[in-house]
Amino acid sequence: MNEKHATYNRMHYGPGFGYLDLYISPLYGANRCVMSDYEKPIRETNDSFNVE
């Protein structure tokens, strides 16, 4: 829905999709998925999750 937030990468976190649609930050332990910029949800829950 918002092309400016389609994807992004930063030095301490990423990849990111949407503003918070899929946010991976192993350094800060803040892996989240909250529907905000994509038309369809990426995950069925907003709970944080671990990445192996």
pLDDT for position 29? 67
Tokens at 21, concatenated: 């649609």
Per-residue pLDDT band at 12 (split at 50, 70, 90) = confident
- Residue 28, pLDDT > 80, answer no
DSSP secondary structure code for residue 4 in this structure: G
Higher pLDDT, 2 or 35: 35
Instruction: Quote the CA–CA distance of 11 and 39 in Å, as a whole number.
Output: 27
Instruction: Quote the CA–CA distance of 21 and 4 in Å, as a whole number.
Output: 13
The residue type found at 42 is: I
Q: Kindly report whether the global pTM for this prediction surpasses the value 0.75.
A: no
Length of the chain: 52
Tokens at 52, concatenated: 């192996």
Per-residue pLDDT band at 33 (split at 50, 70, 90) = confident
